[in-house]
Amino acid sequence: MAFKPANNIQDLQYFGEFGGVNPSISDSSTYTFLSAKTMFDTFEGNAEGCYLYSRHSSPSNLYLGEALAAMEGTETATVTASGMGAITPVLLQLCDAGDHIVSSRTIYGGTYAFLKNFAPRLGINTTFVNITKLDVIEAAITPKTKVLYCETVSNPLLEVADIKGLAQLAKKHQLKLVVDNTFSPLSISPFNLGADVVIHSLTKFINGSSDTVGGVVCGSQELIDDLRNVNCGAAMLLGSTMDSLRSASILKNLRTLHIRMMQHSQNAMYLAEKFESDGLKTVYPGLASHPSHDLFKAMMNKKYGFGGMLTIDVGTLDKANALMELMQEQNLGYLAVSLGFYKTLFSAPGSSTSSEIPEDEQEAMGLSNGLIRFSIGLDADIERTYNMMKICMKKLSIL
Ligand code: PLP
């Protein structure tokens, strides 16, 4: 049977302790034991169903983790306090001093900064590559390489990674393929395509209400156990723990993700087609002009579409800033970083979310100053939105 990520979430059944239709929220940082022996066993990870301390695990966090593992098709998952709080422990768990990572060069600025500036302090070095070129990636692999790292759809350039091709490379060279799927939840299921680890910033589409940060690592039981190990687990020891109240609210939002993704994708597709036919330089994986349109199509779970992210290039940063300010004034969205909100969010990545990337490297990867990244909202009437955006663009002589 075909993999059905939204059904996998829907089919889970959790009850609260009084028969509530939502699981009870665990409001405790620590847990009592009737016997000291069980406490010891729990500490050693040998007492199934018992909880010790909420940095280690809590019922609310386990519920959310299970739902996200079901969505991605992995054995299990662990939730974290932020997307970065998921990415950094995974890389530190998989790599020792002296190891090497091959990473896409077009990734979220924070991840880039971690790999470029922080990980080398711990003796972990990274080669950044064009993720759409499998031969270039293979050439960058050395005997010390442990991890291949990419985003399924990259932030902010919307390059698409060939997950199957990368998984074959990873297998051949005995590497772990770690994929950040933040931009394409439900649309693409990287684990199903061969990835070893799937990470999300829950802050974005999955939570969808821009009221919290959060993250998740979806993977094998072995990896998640390693991350949580009290002696040497990076998640456990670095302490990026999600709060139970937050995981309970993210779980509730997760249940409507499939409906929201369909609407985000439908609206983004509409605007991308219009912008492109107006002559704007538009990048959206759903457009036939996108260099990886066919690849995305071959990988996608069709009904969720090509996602809610698109970019246009209006030439200069001044024009980009003027357009974003005007669109905000017209209540067409917010000039804000992040993504996956009900309102459209727009920002100029070169001077915001990717500003960690030096200017010459931005230029080399095609990240121009006039680029505006849109996270398209859930607008009920996208035609009206488009018409109003067009008026803004005309006013600024962009169209
Ligand atoms: N991954 C991607 C693709 C992102 O866009 C972001 C944040 O913008 C992150 C990871 C980091 O997530 P968080 O801000 O939740 O730490």
**CATH number of the domain that 149 lies in?**
3.40.640.10
The residue among 254, 281, 307 that closes a domain is 254
Ligand 1 center from residue 190 Cα (angstroms): 17
Residue nearest to atom 8 of ligand 1 (CA): 338
Residue partners of 212: CB distance under 8 A and separation at least 6: 202, 203, 246, 249, 250
The residue among 209, 235, 254 that closes a domain is 254
The answer to whether the beta carbons of residues 157 and 283 sit under 8 Å apart is: yes
Instruction: Answer yes or no: do 317 and 204 share one domain.
Output: no
Three-state DSSP class for residue 365: coil
What gap in Å lies between CA 368 and CA 349, rounded to an integer? 9
Cα 280 to chain centroid distance, Å, stands at 27
What gap in Å lies between CA 39 and CA 20, rounded to an integer? 29
Instruction: Answer yes or no: do 246 and 263 share one domain.
Output: no
Enclosing domain of residue 350? 257-395
How many structural domains does the chain have? 2
Q: Is 82 in the pocket of ligand 1 (CB under 6 A)?
A: yes
The residue among 254, 279, 302 that closes a domain is 254
Gyration radius of the chain over CA positions: 21
Ligand 1 center from residue 84 Cα (angstroms): 6
Q: Is 240 in the pocket of ligand 1 (CB under 6 A)?
A: no
What gap in Å lies between CA 70 and CA 10, rounded to an integer? 10
Q: Which of 150, 155, 218 to mutate to test the pocket of ligand 1 (most atoms within 8 A of CB)?
A: 155
Ligand 1 center from residue 264 Cα (angstroms): 18
What gap in Å lies between CA 325 and CA 342, rounded to an integer? 19
What gap in Å lies between CA 72 and CA 220, rounded to an integer? 11
Q: Is 215 in the pocket of ligand 1 (CB under 6 A)?
A: yes
Q: Which of 80, 108, 309 to mutate to test the pocket of ligand 1 (most atoms within 8 A of CB)?
A: 108
Instruction: Answer yes or no: do 303 and 342 share one domain.
Output: yes
DSSP 166-213: HHHHHHHTT-EEEEE-TT-TTT--GGGGT-SEEEEETTTTTT-SSS--
Residue nearest to atom 4 of ligand 1 (CA): 108
What pLDDT digit, counting tens, does each position of 367-378 carry? 889 999 999 999
Ligand 1 center from residue 213 Cα (angstroms): 9
Q: Is 108 in the pocket of ligand 1 (CB under 6 A)?
A: yes
Instruction: Answer yes or no: do 370 and 284 share one domain.
Output: yes
Ligand 1 center from residue 112 Cα (angstroms): 11
Ligand 1 center from residue 199 Cα (angstroms): 10
Q: Is 84 in the pocket of ligand 1 (CB under 6 A)?
A: yes
Instruction: Answer yes or no: do 162 and 265 share one domain.
Output: no
pLDDT given at position 3: 86
Q: Looking up tokens 């000039």, which residue turns up?
A: 335
Residue nearest to atom 15 of ligand 1 (CA): 83
Helix-strand-coil percent breakdown of the chain, rounded to 5? 40, 15, 45
∠ CA(174), CA(177), CA(181), 5° rounding? 175
Instruction: Answer yes or no: do 283 and 309 share one domain.
Output: yes
Instruction: Answer yes or no: do 245 and 266 share one domain.
Output: no
What gap in Å lies between CA 175 and CA 128, rounded to an integer? 16
Instruction: Answer yes or no: do 161 and 303 share one domain.
Output: no
What gap in Å lies between CA 399 and CA 294, rounded to an integer? 29
pTM of the model: 0.97
List phi, psi (to 5°) of 330. Answer: -85, 5
Q: Is 110 in the pocket of ligand 1 (CB under 6 A)?
A: yes
Helices then strands, each counted (H, E), the chain: 15, 12
Instruction: Answer yes or no: do 106 and 232 share one domain.
Output: yes
List phi, psi (to 5°) of 368. Answer: -90, 160
pLDDT given at position 244: 97
Ligand 1 center from residue 17 Cα (angstroms): 34
The answer to whether the beta carbons of residues 282 and 276 sit under 8 Å apart is: yes
Q: What residues does 160 pair with on adjacent strands?
A: 153
Q: Is 349 in the pocket of ligand 1 (CB under 6 A)?
A: no
pLDDT given at position 297: 98
Return the H-helix or E-strand segment holding 322: helix 317-329
Ligand 1 center from residue 217 Cα (angstroms): 13
pLDDT given at position 366: 79
What pLDDT digit, counting tens, does each position of 218-245 carry? 999 999 999 999 899 999 999 999 999 9
Instruction: Answer yes or no: do 228 and 269 share one domain.
Output: no
Instruction: Answer yes or no: do 53 and 183 share one domain.
Output: yes
CATH number at residue 308: 3.90.1150.10
Instruction: Answer yes or no: do 138 and 28 share one domain.
Output: yes
Residue ranges of the chain with per-residue pLDDT less than 70: 1
Residue nearest to atom 5 of ligand 1 (CA): 108
Residue nearest to atom 2 of ligand 1 (CA): 108
Q: Which of 182, 205, 207, 373 to mutate to test the pocket of ligand 1 (most atoms within 8 A of CB)?
A: 182
Strands 345-347 and 371-375: antiparallel
What pLDDT digit, counting tens, does each position of 149-184 carry? 999 999 999 999 999 999 999 999 999 999 999 999
